[in-house]
Structure 1
Amino acid sequence: MSKKLIAVFLALVLIFSLAGCSNSNSTKTSDKTTSTTTDNNSATKTEAKQDERDVRYPAFDFGGKTIKVGLWWDYYYDSDNTSINDDPNLSNAKTAQMRLDNVRRIEKKYNVKIKFENLTWDGIIKSINTSIPAGTPECDIYLTDLQFGIPAVAHGLAQDLSKIAPKNSDLFNDNKIVRPLKVNGGTYLFQEQGLQTSGIFLGYNATMIKELGLEDPQELYKNGQWTWDKFEEYCKKGTRDTSGDGVADVYGFGGVFTDLVNGLMMNNGGSIAATKTEGLSSKPTMETLDFINKLYNVDHSARPWNTQDWNDNLLAWSSGKVMFWTAQAWLLKQEADKASSNGGSGLPFDYKIVPYPVGPSGDGKLYSPVQGNWYMIPVGVKDADKVYQIFEDFLDWYNGDTSLRDDPTWFESCFQNEDDVKLALDCDQNQKLDIWSSLSSSGFDFGATIWQPIIVDKKSTVAQAVEAAKPVLQGALDKFWSGSQQ
């Protein structure tokens, strides 16, 4: 406390000394110099940060042109906006102002306008598939979902960024601003960097686990004991007839097959359509399908698949019908918020998450599929190198301070404890691209060729279904990568 008082006393002495000195003209000059020096030091620091962007992205005159970015929602902010209040969902005035100021910075630096155009979901797909092949792309940049972004690459509609982006671009160096996605040997897609929040994992009913006297799955994972065998054991114990009618009404597992297949397969070193050659019959993938078959058809510990209602499979967990489920952050928050809305008391149980268990062919790392939205520059865009540089510079609205960009508030609100937040982020650190779910229009439908005969109809063994599906999958891959229009 005495040190603090001394510091305050010295500060007061300095203030009064400066105030007394202000009576003389000569001291006024000295005062002004001191003040200017302080301001200049502060300004120099700011300019130094700004200079980092200007060194990486040298200014040039783009002739007053407009760079049009197509997407399927309203984006803020672009050159049409003059106030942060233009955004009806404004939540953070500080970062909103930084984004708006950044628009003005880019406009001045390059003599350019930035325009984000909401084309709607169907509209952006139509624009990509019609305007680009015609040689007159409607937009200079498109934001794509992988459902239509990967086909656009396969059909030669996207430019290879490795051939147009500046060599000192963040894309090929630090990846602090953008994240590249390699497809078919080239870098055609990129997205804005941020928290890795699209990982997949298993959710579990922690209350149910405790009631059954089972060890917490997170502890098993921490101790390297979270394996397929342990997951199977838990699923069996979680499957029960609570009503006494002789029919199970609570199952050890329930969820959607897309995430289940990816979660188990990728963490077992397998793939289905990660390359131009089918991987369905590979050892890791066959092991995955055999294990899923065991859960559903041998142990009967997985909730029967509802062919009529996808959401019944996806949301069974929130009504306590399953102990483990296929989970993502948004899904947990959606159901928890729904249960708390309109005076509700929330979900009647505690929930937690755990990574997908490691399979016998897995390497022990955590994997999730590549997801999210990805930008591309279409073939036919003139001065694509300049368009890319301007846009990458535009994306660094936070001037290197990623804490402004990566606000974890929403993500953290999806979970009930900090351990879950960390695990969810860990699950998304290693991403794998496997396009099997994007091949239906090319002739391969996993649900119809694999899931239906094995899990729903129960008329085929795994080996039989895979043998029948292999040529179908290979044909779809050949068509997909040949550039044939769908």
Structure 2
Amino acid sequence: MKKSARIALHCLLAMVLTVPLAACGSDTKDTTPKKDMSTNTREQLAELSKSDERLTGELENKTIKWMSDWDINSDDTGKTTPIELAVFQERYGGQIEFHQTTYGARYDNLANAINSDEGIDFFYGGNWDAFPKGAVRGMFVPYDDYIDLDSDLWKDVKAANDAMVWNDKHYMAIVEVTGDQCAIIYNRKTMDENGLDDPAELFEKGKWDWDAFEDMLSEFVDTSDERYGIDSWYFESGLSASTGVPYIGLENGKLVNNLRNEAIEDYQNWMYGLWQSDYIALGVGDYGWTSRDYYIGEGKLLFYPCGLWALGTEKSQWSKTFGEDVFFVPVPKYDKADEYYIPTSVNAYCFVKGGHNPEGVGKFLDCFRFSKISDGAQEISDEQFVKDYEWTDEMIEMKNKMNEMALANPVFDYYNGISSDVTDILDSSVNGIRATSRGIPWNESVNAIYDQTQNFIDEVNEKNAAE
């Protein structure tokens, strides 16, 4: 494997942890690995972690309770026990007790668990709906007493953590910043058969921008011949991130409303033009309102903007949907932007109010950071990822490049992290940020939602100032 691909792989293992898995109930517990690593690999990790001075101390309480709709332990996607978990197990004798919930019921179930003193210790923050909402509502507590951001383990992500401070305290423990939140997934065979340039080659040449994206749609789309342009749910905010302007930003500890920003207006008007040209498949003609990602593999769909979790399964699964020739590139560049911006993901965790073992969570997250910066652990992680998911070196290198882009020019958008009311307003296909892709001009939408959104922002900012 190429050295650059090997280095890149350490960012990929955490990506599959964000895959939303179907949950069949709530508050079930599971610590049994479904697919464990080899004994030899465990022995290597044990030696690495126990001999490294960056992992300090011991744990009296070795179990930490995790509530989510997906399991950190190995699962049915083909994921082996993650390296960071194995390090936690070998160095501290730790284990993660999984309390299963559903995606939609996560916060309700967490609130019930807090009220009944179940001792849930940590919760995922990388979906962008935990912060600052969880801090404002008192569901999460600061982690400053349990993580040292100035330590060798954390210094690489200190800036990202410091960017998400609420009331002078840290609530989102960010273990890494990645660029996998939204990529443009496509099939190279489809491009070749239709005489289109490979987007990856355009990207390499610095020519992958909004114009190139639209030109390819213009050449390919013919809905009367089952040749469709863009399909995917909730892709609009991903493409919008290319402006470098979040819909709701955070500046000097206060939320900021950017809905009337000029770059946002440019993007929304562009999206409206794509809709007018029938380039957005959902709702067009006989396509209906069901997403058909498998059309990528069948050569009927040009672009599928989606998080790379869609490729975070065994190859037999992702190739069945997208085809053997699937590839991906970052979202296209907005030429007026001062940099090349792409959607930014964070792999982050929140400490839950009333957790019984915050020290254990701190040690687990130290192990997570160790797995990212230890060369020996990285090599093991690299080999494991390739074995599990069979990505090519080229896929890994592209993912690595996207991670570099996101870390260099992060775009943190907080519109999902204020309240469900704000999310509902902005995610609405009637008058929200998705409405132009459904045929509603942006000037109508922004006039309908700006003041509502500002009122919610003011309420949260005022509460923060009063504390």
Normalised TM-score (structure 1): 0.67
Match of 1:465 in 2: 445
Q: 1:462–1:248: structure 2 CA closer, same or farther, 3 Å change rule? A: farther
Change (3 A) 1:395 1:271: closer
Q: Distance in 2 between matches of 1:312 and 1:472?
A: 30
CA contact under 8 A between 1:197 and 1:411: conserved in structure 2?
no
- Pairwise CA distance, 1:311: 4.3
Aligned counterparts, 1:28-107, within 5 A:
50-53=50-53, 56-59=54-57, 64-65=60-61, 67-72=63-68, 73=70, 76=73, 103=89, 105-107=91-93
Indicate the residue corresponding to 2:363 in structure 1.
Answer: 390
Larger relative CO (CA 8 A, sep 6+): 1 or 2? 2
Question: Which residue is equivalent to 2:120?
Answer: 139
Considering fraction of residues, name the structure with more helix: 1
Question: How many positions carry a matched residue from both structures?
Answer: 398
Aligned equivalents of 1:349, 1:68: Cα separation in 2: 40
1:358 CA displacement: 0.8
Alignment of 1:464-483 (within 5 A): 464-479=444-459
1:481 CA drift (Å): 5.7
SS in 1 for 2:141: coil
Partner of 1:305: 283
Match of 1:4 in 2: none
Could you say if the C-alpha distance between residues 397 and 218 of structure 1 is closer, same or farther in structure 2, counting changes exceeding 3 Å?
A: closer
Cα deviations across residues 342-370 of structure 1 (Å, max 9, x unaligned)? xxxx8677333222111133234342232
1:296–1:455 CA contact under 8 A, matched in 2: yes
AA of the residue aligned to 2:379: S
Matches within 5 A, 1:412-423: 413-414=390-391, 417-423=392-398
Structure-2 separation of matches of 1:452 and 1:147 = 18
Deviation at 1:163, TM superposition (A): 4.9
Spell out, residue by residue over 1:47-66, the C-alpha distance to the aligned partner (whole angstroms, 9 max, x if none): 8973533xx45436x6x445
Q: CA deviation at 1:235?
A: 0.9
In 1, Cα distance between equivalents of 2:323 and 2:108? 45
Residue by residue over 1:136-184, the C-alpha shift from the partner in whole angstroms, topping out at 9 and shown as x without a partner, is 46223334553652231332322222354346545642459x9847434
| The one of 238, 251, 271 aligned to 2:220 | 238
RMSD: 4.2
Shift of 1:238: 0.8
Q: Which residue of 2 aligns with 1:225?
A: 207
- Indicate conservation of the 8 Å contact 1:131/1:137, yes or no: yes
Q: 1:254 to 1:335 in 2, by over 3 A?
A: farther
Shift of 1:99: 6.0
Matches of 2:78 and 2:324 in 1, distance apart?
Answer: 33
Distance 1:208 1:153 in 2: 46
Amino acid at match of 1:224: G
Contact 2:246 2:413 in 1 (8 A): yes
Inter-CA distance 287–452: structure 2 relative to 1 (3 Å threshold):
closer
Aligned counterparts, 1:322-337, within 5 A: 322-332=301-311, 337=316
Q: Could you list the runs of 5+ residues in structure 1 that have no partner in the other structure?
A: 1-45, 78-86, 108-112, 242-246
User: What is the aligned-residue identity percentage?
Assistant: 15
Q: Which has the larger Rg? A: 1
> Partners in 2 of 1:349 and 1:90 — Cα distance?
18
Instruction: Give the Cα separation in 1 of the matches to 2:195 and 2:77.
Output: 45
Question: Would you say 1:183 and 2:164 are equivalent positions?
Answer: yes
In structure 2, relative to structure 1, the CA distance for the partners of 1:477 and 1:352 (3 Å cut) is: same
C-alpha distance in 1 between matches for 2:332 and 2:92: 47
